[in-house]
Structure 1
């Protein structure tokens, strides 16, 4: 049975069950059952009506879900049996006469009991199918929730790993900055030492140059004085010879 046929059968069953309940509240045809027994039968009809309404709602909600509707093919036989049983119940709920109740009441009761048993089994099957489908949905939701939780945990782990990486990078950067500062200080100290050394060498060179200049000047002065002395002596000698 295709999904459309199943839906049509369910709608027909809902309609017939509604008629049976309406008639049952007024009169329950030829029967030798007690009032309490007949009341329990009507209650079973209400329970069946609730189950078939739930199945109808399920079909309406999932009318475009071909896979889910095709999974209900197993209900084709039970739905047909329930429809036939409801037709029997509907006949039992027709007006009766004293003659019918006394002569065919027992026979009608047997048919009524059989019909109610069929409806009970059908109701149990429908509820099981709906429960199984609901369980499938719940399982899918649970699986989805678990997947989301795992994704969130992975993201959290990645964030924590990123934070740890950032802390590690920060520590490395701090150490490198410290090392760079130490090297910069060492370089400055070395440069200061070089500057001081150059300054001392420059001063030393200046002192040596001054000494050499003074020595040269003294030598020149001594030489000049010697030359002057010679010239004076020579001049004096010449003068003395001239007198002679």
Structure 2
């Protein structure tokens, strides 16, 4: 991987050669018009970022599009990510990035509200009006055909609570296998609860590397792992 100098990075930022990451959680239908307007503004001013685009940036150290890139990230695996956010991205030509808490998706809809409240998954009133809160696996598979899906652990855990070998296996490895089995594609990235950075725990960093992830998303950066 090419490592550009600090001056080169400054020059690229001045020219708009960068990627902006914008994080979302629940995207209820009641806020669809607000989200549509925001994403439309991004689509006007930024270029979509596919997985191939991100790979190219890390391999060359140079952003290759005329506009800076945009990665809209829709966390957790809410049903409305599939029914509201993804269709808006499709309409606007944006590539959405969807980190999925796989056990949330696997949870029986009857218990999804309880699961969410027990695992730091925020809910708005619309989420709790009955019915399914999380995506199902068919929706995850469909998303993977035009967007990027990857694990946000299994149980929406942070590295500070996934402490045993069994915890790490479930949150880091099994979540990847579950997504790959459904999508038929490599799960390229991983993200902990709270967006913890790579480099905070050698044990957990090793688990992410061993699982074969290329990227770890964090609150302040995207880390290239492998």
TM-score, scaled to structure 2: 0.20
Identify, as 1 or 2, the structure richer in strand. 2
Name the structure, 1 or 2, with higher relative contact order (CA <8 Å, separation 6+). 1
Identify, as 1 or 2, the structure richer in helix. 1
Larger radius of gyration: 1
